[in-house]
Amino acid sequence: MATIKPFKGIYYNPKKIKIENVIAQPYDKIDSKLFKAYKERDPHNAVRLILKSDLSKMSNSKIGYEPQAQLLQQWLKEEIFIQEPEEAFYAYDQEFRVFGEIKHRQALIGLGGLEEYGKGIVFPHEETLSKPKADRLNHLTATQTQFGLIFMLYEDKNYLISKELHIDTSTKMLFDFVDKDDGVRHQLWSVKDQVLTQKITEQMKDKKLLIADGHHRYETALTYRNQMRERFGSLPFSKPYDYAMMAFVNLYDEGLVILPTHRLIRKVSEEAKTQLWSVLKAHFKIDRFKLPKTSQSKFIHEKMTPGHSFKHVIGLCENLDELVLLHYEATVLPQNEINEKHTEAWRRLDVVLLHYLILEKGLGIEEEMVKQEENLFYCRGIDEALESLKLSKAEMVFFLNPTQSESVRDVAFGGERMPQKSTDFYPKLMTGLTLNRMEF
């Protein structure tokens, strides 16, 4: 049973702060360029609270987050942040443009009870790394505050919760702004009506929760909870550390968008290239298209877009002159093509075809090599991938179509995890909209 409840959220004081100047992307999406831009944008930007003052020292575990904890205390005293006097859920709407179409996505922000995996309540869909979790645990221990939202999916085909939220979002608007970096519009309302909040809590009880984004934060919160229980002991869901701040999004929300993450290959031997084409010819129907001199990104996107008789299409460019489309005729990758046993839902993924049939069997890039990112790196945009080819940063690019949300669900509920960088939920949930302070 999922345990969801409202909380007394902390947020920027609109009388003192322009919210569009202080919110930030999730911590793991902030590179040095964006870090610098955030710090220059406003002295109270959330980036000063979630990352170390010097990004080059992020991996140094000896440098803790006490300065960030002290800064948070200072901003609370100065009323840069204010706290909701009553417990509330928060309705969080995002309006954005993707592939020329305007979309809206709605989330419910609240506290979710932390559950161990394997209990049939919370399901991960991707693997995590130990270093980011150690860093986030240091941050959480020092600040005792949750700054980022864990992105959770739930199933509600009748949109009951969305309808309830829209009834109560005509007033109590906290923020309405457009992000300066990507043009996404963000709107946030507080939902305080006790009858409504109790109704939402009850409606969420029977839901399975699928982690879309925030696996490292979820597992960090779980580790912190277990440490606190060892020290103090507690009944389940009786202490602040039993919960994490989450944003719950309906799996069937029309604004739920997953972008593809393309694979760029470097340092490939001629022998590996020969082996690759042997594998491709044996397993795929191959179509070749001459790339136009202009609008290459649009051309590739249109050719990749489903609408053909093949269920699986992967694009390949080794230069800026030609696009190769690889059509896989079978519905799923046969079990005998891979060493470990996997569910049919997992073997149906395009990214699995790419990693196990093309990268591993074709190029000899095995799972451990993928983790090291020696021969493989990633990018979201087609233009960025083509630019890497142009600048000889990559020798070939494999283009993927987006993973469908139902596929993510089927793999996760089947007890499996997808290869790294299989999903890119867009847009990201911004950091700094609401904070949850775990005072106990």
- Residue 344 located in a structural domain: yes
Q: What are phi and psi of 243, to 5 degrees?
A: -130, 160
DSSP assignment of 35-58, as one string?
HHHHHHH-TT-THHHHS-SSGGGT
Let me know whether 18 and 128 are in one domain.
yes
- Residue 138 located in a structural domain: yes
Let me know whether 394 and 251 are in one domain.
no
Let me know whether 248 and 332 are in one domain.
no
Let me know whether 20 and 61 are in one domain.
yes
User: Is a pLDDT exceeding 90 seen at residue 141?
Assistant: yes
Q: How far apart are CA 46 and CA 37, in angstroms?
A: 12
Type of residue found at 266: R
- Residue 410 located in a structural domain: no
Let me know whether 231 and 276 are in one domain.
no
Opening angle at CA 264, ends 260 and 267, nearest 5: 165
* pLDDT score of 108: 97
* pLDDT score of 53: 85
Domain of residue 363: give its range. Answer: 261-401
- Residue 414 located in a structural domain: no
Let me know whether 281 and 367 are in one domain.
yes
- Residue 9 located in a structural domain: yes
Kindly state the percentage of the chain with pLDDT values over 70. Answer: 96
Q: Which pair of structure tokens corresponds to residue 285?
A: 């129907």
The 10s digit of each residue's pLDDT in 34-90 is 999 999 999 999 999 999 988 766 667 668 899 999 999 999 999 999 999 999 999
Query: What is the DSSP code (8-state) at residue 379?
Result: E
Omega cis (within 30) before 124: no
- Residue 223 located in a structural domain: yes
Let me know whether 193 and 316 are in one domain.
no
Strands (E), 3-121: 4-5, 10-12, 81-83, 89-98, 101-113
Beta-strand relationship, 243-250 and 101-113? antiparallel
The 10s digit of each residue's pLDDT in 150-189 is 999 999 999 999 888 876 655 578 999 999 999 999 999 9
* pLDDT score of 310: 59
* pLDDT score of 236: 78
Let me know whether 246 and 352 are in one domain.
no
The 10s digit of each residue's pLDDT in 228-250 is 999 987 777 889 999 999 999 99
Let me know whether 280 and 184 are in one domain.
no
Let me know whether 265 and 238 are in one domain.
no
The Cα-based distances of 289 to 286, 292, 321, 326 in angstroms read: 10, 9, 9, 12
* pLDDT score of 3: 95
Let me know whether 77 and 202 are in one domain.
yes
Q: Mean pLDDT in the chain?
A: 93
When divided into structural domains, the chain yields a total of 2
